[in-house]
């Protein structure tokens, strides 16, 4: 005889069993993650921070969002990509966007490049967090749940700060006072609290945002997704900092990295934290 229906109580017990199995290392695994994309390159406006997505309990994602739901991950192969930082302008009009970072179905967008356009209405580039503007241009927009917009420019000699994961980049206050980069978000997934994904400083600003954002003529910090700091003619703007990917798995899981990956493993009681600092490849979880 075929089964025509299941009671609500039966489905509830199956759900409870699935959650218990995941917590004890049976597949699918419940996997907290932190995925930070590469920061945008600086120009006259500061580079925007790389997109910031986190599912770590009691922490935040970028753009003012709460932590996301951890992934339910089956055994098998899963893509892990660590986005490179964007480049500061080199005779062109804008810094380039950073590259996306990926874990399985989770993608964080590269930070927006800072603006250096001759058009008053041209904004900084949009991205995970937006790049800072120049002249009267607005800052680029940030991606919902990943980061904030860049600050606007002011005149020919001051740029807006790049947006950060936790706040908007500051606008330039005048044509002699640029905007600081927006701050990033702190996470303890690596074992201690580290702030990542700060925006780069605009031209004639004081500092990049907390979390790896570059000061003027300074690159964003590697593996933070910080935006590159701004510069003007004859100076060298900063590049965006590369991103980083963290996943937390039970000790019972076996992870094999891809050929292109640079991976570190951190022990945490019954769990291991896998830190990916470079690469674009499949990992295998068994």
Q: Is residue 111 part of a domain?
A: yes
How far, in Å, CA of 24 to CA of 139, rounded?
46
Q: Is residue 116 part of a domain?
A: yes
pLDDT at 3: 32
Q: How many domains does the chain have?
A: 1
**In this structure, how many other beta carbons lie within 10 angstroms of the beta carbon of residue 68?**
17
Q: Is residue 80 part of a domain?
A: yes
Residues 243-281 pLDDT 10s: 999 999 999 999 999 999 999 999 999 999 999 999 999
Q: What's the mean pLDDT when you consider all of the chain? A: 91
* Residue 23: φ, ψ to 5°: -70, -25
- Between the alpha carbon of residue 7 and those of residues 2, 4, 14, 15, 93, the distances in Å are 15, 10, 11, 13, 63
Q: Is residue 286 part of a domain?
A: no
Determine if the pTM surpasses 0.75.
yes
Q: Is residue 149 part of a domain?
A: yes
The answer on pLDDT for 226 being more than 70 is yes
Residues 20-57 pLDDT 10s: 344 445 899 999 999 999 999 999 999 999 999 999 99
Q: Is residue 44 part of a domain?
A: yes
The answer on pLDDT for 200 being more than 50 is yes
Residues 80-107 pLDDT 10s: 999 999 999 976 678 999 999 999 999 9
**In this structure, how many other beta carbons lie within 10 angstroms of the beta carbon of residue 11?**
10
109: containing domain: 32-242
What mean pLDDT is predicted for residues 135-159? Answer: 95
Q: Is residue 3 part of a domain?
A: no
How far, in Å, CA of 128 to CA of 142, rounded?
5
Q: Is residue 162 part of a domain?
A: yes
């Amino acid at each position: 005889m075929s089964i025509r229906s299941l009671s609500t109580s039966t489905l509830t017990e199956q759900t409870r069993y699935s959650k218990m199995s995941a917590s004890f290392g049976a597949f699918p695994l419940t996997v907290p993650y932190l995925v930070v994309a590469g920061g945008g390159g600086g120009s006259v406006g500061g580079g925007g921070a790389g997109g910031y997505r986190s599912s770590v309990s009691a922490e935040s994602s970028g753009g003012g969002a709460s932590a996301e739901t951890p992934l339910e991950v089956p055994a098998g192969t899963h893509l892990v990509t660590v986005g490179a930082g964007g480049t500061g302008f080199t005779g062109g009009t804008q810094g380039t966007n950073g590259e996306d970072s990926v874990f399985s179905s989770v993608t964080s967008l590269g930070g927006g490049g800072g603006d250096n356009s001759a058009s008053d209405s041209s904004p900084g580039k949009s991205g995970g967090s937006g790049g800072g503007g120049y002249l009267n241009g607005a800052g680029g927009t940030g991606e919902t749940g990943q980061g904030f917009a860049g600050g606007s420019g002011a005149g020919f000699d001051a740029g807006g700060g790049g947006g950060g994961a936790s706040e908007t980049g500051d606008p330039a206050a005048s044509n002699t006072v640029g905007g600081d980069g927006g701050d990033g978000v702190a996470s303890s997934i690596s074992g201690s609290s580290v702030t990542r994904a700060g925006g780069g400083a605009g031209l004639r600003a004081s500092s990049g945002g907390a979390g790896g954002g570059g000061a003027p003529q300074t690159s964003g910090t590697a593996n933070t997704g910080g935006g590159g700091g701004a510069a003007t003619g004859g100076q060298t703007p900063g590049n965006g900092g590369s991103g980083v990917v963290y996943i937390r798995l039970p000790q019972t899981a076996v992870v094999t990295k891809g050929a292109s990956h640079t991976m570190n493993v951190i022990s945490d009681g019954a769990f291991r934290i896998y830190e990916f600092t470079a690469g674009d490849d499949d990992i295998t979880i068994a």
